[in-house]
Amino acid sequence: MIELLQKVRVIDPVSEIDELFDVLIADGYIREVASHISDISSDTQIRDCQGLVLGPGLVDLYSHSGEPGFEERETLLSFLQAAAAGGFTRVSILPDTSPVIDNPALVALQHKRAEGQRGRGAEKSLSPLLHIWGAITVDVAGKQMTELADLASAGVVGFTDGKPLENLALVQRVLEYLQPLGKPVAFWPSDRQLTANGVMREGTNALRFGLPPIPTSAETTAIAAMLELVATIGTPVHIMRVSTARSVELIASAKAAGLPITASTTWMHLLLDTKAVKSYHSSLHLDPPLGNPSDMAALRTGVRAGVIDAIAIDHTPYSYEEKVQAFAEAPPGAIGLELALPLLWQYLVETEEFTALELWRALSTNPAECLGEKVSAIVPHQLAELTLFDPQQTWKVERKSLYTLSQNTPWLGQQLKGHVVQIWC
């Protein structure tokens, strides 16, 4: 198929471009990018793209899949469909399925399942590439390492448990073992003893709403310990789920000192703070919890400054029965693959707090770099890995408009502005 996208707004963080162009795409490749393209064949499909945005495909660093083990929450098919609908061309799933992805056979099986769901021929060009994180530990207590080298050979994108690892001696061994493998490793620093039974960030709003608090130190002490290990061993580390202003300061200082670290926060921590918990909506129960207003402001500044490299979706589906509980009793997490780009664009770009390039970089090229990958510039002769987005299209978040099987989001039933038109993978 040959397509000509006329007068589309090209946002390309690789080339630092935000301009109107015509873009010619043929047989999965970008053939031409110019201010005006008129020399086209008779079978070219011409699309008027005025008002639309074309950028590199979005990349999600980490999210949860229900399959295997929790297919009532999400299957690989519904996960990939939701990712495509949200503009993602590459997505990475955490290993916390049932069974946990902790050996090469399970990695191979998960890859096989994913390829079976991605379709064939033309269908594959509309389905995201699925990356799989390999587990760091094999037991519930988190005391025994997986066969890291075998998992690396099996094709995992990197290593993480997606849950806090508080055994620092084990973390030290992991960093030493991983150094020669050249694969990313991601940790979620959180001291569970300090977290205790808390469900909301400590502060005046936690007192006002009568919810058990989680101190900032639950995150910052764990990050400080992690940074000390990185400084000693030198293995590059990705810090997941950054949620406090003090954490941003610690990471900024570590980067200034030359430590090999990258960091991410999640999209909901950029949009909402503890004031939103007033509704007691169970989909606002997150782990780590939403920050205080000063935390949210620091996270936004951190993303713009590059201290926080990437925005992760951390899509966490749960069934209706699991979430229809009191705030503190419901499992933490919310869906996001189909909602993140429209809401981030609406509340950060349209308000002019972020430039379009800043947001797109944090959702595409930077997450890819955290995974040790590259995203190509939007230039001729490159494979077309692209997302076409309409910032003005309105739609309602409801069961029939979502591909994900779960609906645990505080935006359910609301009207949103911004919708993905198409992806090329």
CA dist., res. 156 & res. 150, Å (int): 10
Q: Which domains does the chain have, with CATH numbers?
A: 53-424 (3.20.20.140)
Q: Which two tokens stand for residue 13?
A: 């963080």
pLDDT of residue 139: 66
DSSP 347: I
pLDDT of residue 361: 98
**Does 314 qualify as catalytic in the annotation?**
yes
Contact 222, 190 (CB under 8 A): yes
State the amino acid at position 88 in one-letter form: F
Burial tier of 38 (Cβ tally within 10 Å: 0-12, 13-18, 19+):
exposed
Q: Give me the sign of the Cα torsion angle 376, 379, 382, 384.
A: positive
Quick count: other Cβ atoms within 10 Å of Cβ 17?
16
DSSP 367: H
Instruction: Determine the distance from the C-alpha atom of residue 276 to the mean position of all C-alpha atoms in its chain, rounded to a whole number.
Output: 22
Q: Of all residues in the chain, what percent carry a pLDDT higher than 90?
A: 92
**Which of 60, 273, 314, 390 is flagged as catalytic?**
314
pLDDT at 119 over 80: no
Residue whose C-alpha is closest to residue 13's, from 352, 356, 262: 356
State the amino acid at position 46 in one-letter form: I
Confidence of residue 40 (pLDDT cuts 50, 70, 90): confident
Kindly report, residue by residue over 194-206, the tens digit of the pLDDT.
999 999 999 999 9
Quick count: other Cβ atoms within 10 Å of Cβ 16?
10
pLDDT of residue 117: 77
The DSSP code sequence of 26-80 is ETTEEEEEES------TTPEEEE-TT-EEEEPEEEEEE---TTT-TTT--HHHHH
Contacts of 106 (CB under 8 A, 6+ apart): 99, 100
CA dist., res. 264 & res. 230, Å (int): 17
